[in-house]
């Protein structure tokens, strides 16, 4: 039912595609200079990571962006911004469902012209509703992409610096599970650096941890932004609407 979808509208707009991040990962090499890299003393104490030649690490870029203090703040603000639009779509959906129920219960009793007019009204409102949902999804998705891109542009140099300082020769994004990702299995406890990067980025950004969330609905995850500079590989209502 579309009414279920509308209660968590923002999350639907956040279907993730990380191909842009994966493509830019090959451009980042350990010998590349790191612009605006944080100083060694800027990162908080983190779990020690063993080092060694040819060491490979993993990071969930989606998680790193969304769970950073800055990501939580900006995604919550975006969700708050679109609450009025979510209410408008809910009202449209409720009106549409009411007409459908009317046709279902009264249809056999209506004469041919009345039934045809009611069906035509439903079809017209359905088209308008579907178009409004699609437009809102695209608008929210674009703004999510902007937020993700802005945070990643600042986070990428930190990831590269962290990898260099800890002896990594490759960092792999694990935002998508296999088979969407080429990574079949990895030992999260020993090679995942996601939390370390989040902690370091929170210190670098200076954004305090949120004290409360603006909504009980799941926070939407960002779309992958288009690549602008070399960087390492990157970054839900329950029911989707029936088409």
- What are the pLDDT digits (tens) for 10-69? 333 333 333 333 333 333 333 333 334 344 344 444 445 554 457 899 999 999 999 999
Paired tokens of 163: 């990898």
Interior angle at CA 202, CA 196 and CA 208, nearest 5:
140
Q: Would the pLDDT of 88 be above 60?
A: yes
Spatial separation of the C-alpha atoms in residues 63 and 76, rounded to whole Å: 15
Interior angle at CA 142, CA 141 and CA 144, nearest 5:
65
- Would you call 65 helix, strand, or coil by DSSP? helix
pTM: 0.63
For the purposes of burial, counting CB atoms within 10 Å of the CB of 138, is it exposed (0-12), middle (13-18) or buried (19 or more)? Answer: exposed
Q: Would the pLDDT of 121 be above 60?
A: yes
Q: Which residue has the tokens 């949120």?
A: 210
- The pLDDT value recorded for residue 186 is 78
């Amino acid at each position: 039912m579309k009414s279920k979808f509308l209660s968590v509208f923002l999350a639907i707009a956040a279907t993730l595609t990380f191909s842009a991040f994966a493509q830019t990962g090959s451009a980042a090499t350990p010998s590349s200079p790191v612009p605006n890299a944080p100083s060694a003393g800027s990162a908080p104490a983190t779990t020690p990571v063993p080092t060694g030649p040819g060491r490979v690490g993993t990071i969930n870029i989606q998680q790193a962006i969304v769970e950073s203090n800055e990501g939580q703040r900006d995604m919550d603000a975006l969700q708050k911004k679109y609450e009025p639009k979510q209410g408008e779509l809910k009202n449209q959906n409720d009106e549409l469902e009411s007409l459908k129920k009317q046709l279902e219960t009264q249809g056999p009793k209506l004469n041919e012209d009345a039934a045809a007019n009611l069906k035509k009204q439903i079809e017209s409102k359905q088209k308008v509703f579907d178009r409004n949902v699609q437009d809102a999804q695209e608008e929210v998705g674009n703004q999510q992409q902007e937020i993700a891109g802005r945070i990643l542009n600042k986070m990428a140099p930190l990831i590269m610096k962290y990898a260099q300082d800890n002896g990594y020769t490759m960092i792999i994004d694990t935002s998508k599970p296999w088979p969407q990702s080429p990574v079949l299995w990895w030992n999260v406890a020993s090679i995942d650096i996601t939390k370390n990067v989040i902690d370091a980025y929170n210190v670098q950004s200076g954004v305090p941890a949120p004290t409360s969330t603006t909504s009980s609905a799941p926070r939407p995850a960002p779309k992958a932004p288009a690549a602008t500079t070399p960087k390492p590989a990157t970054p839900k209502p329950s029911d989707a609407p029936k088409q």
